[in-house]
Amino acid sequence: MKRTSAALQPPRARFTGIVYLLYFLIAILAQVLTGQKHVAVGNATNIVAFVLYFALALLFYYLFKPVNRVVSFIAAFVSIAGCVLGAVAIYYLPAAGISPLIFFAPYCLLIGYLIFRSAFLPHILGVLMLLAGVGWLVYLSPLVKYLAMYIEGLGILAEAALMLWLIVMGVKVQQWKEQAGTSA
């Protein structure tokens, strides 16, 4: 009985959206600092951004666990692996040869799938995240020189839409609870 009642705790969607926003702001700050030749501070700020994205992966795991526990776990695992690789690559140059997009593209695809299959978020957010995931896969190909601006724009649009939806609208709590109840 305890397990079922714990599974039906309302999701912290707005909190998840705020962590997402903090990640965005800190990641942008890190890029600005690095671009302004404040590399040490930019690298430290990037570590903070990776820690926030690590936390976001865990928050998304709990948010989407009612949709599909296994897929949600795989998405969290892939995201955390990308965060670890990205953080290590800041200070260990051989790891910098591996693009974190190898992890981020599947993560976006999995999150898009989970959103699309959920009953508590609009399907359009899932479609946007699926398209962003496909775009990040294309970003790893030679086509990137022709499509980089469009792929980046789509990725930013998809993630910003999800982030803002979570902050402003949250999730349909009743549908989340119903989905959590059926998955328990």
Mean pLDDT of the chain: 90
Whether pLDDT at 183 is above 70: no
At 46, is the pLDDT very low, low, confident or very high (cuts 50, 70, 90)? very high
Confidence (pLDDT) at 80: 96
2-37 confidence digits (pLDDT tens): 444 444 566 799 999 999 999 999 999 999 999 999
Domain ranges of the chain: 12-172
User: In sequence order, what are the residues at sequence separation of 6 or more whose Cβ sits closer than 8 angstroms to the Cβ of residue 169?
Assistant: none
42 has a pLDDT exceeding 80: yes
Helix (H) or strand (E) holding 177: helix 173-183
DSSP 9: S
- Tell me the C-alpha distance between 42 and 38, whole Å: 6
Q: What angle do CA 109, 115, 117 make, to 5 degrees?
A: 100
pLDDT digits (tens, 9 = 90+) for 132-142: 999 999 888 88
90 pLDDT above the threshold of 90: no
- 181 pLDDT higher than 60: yes
Give this prediction's pTM.
0.89
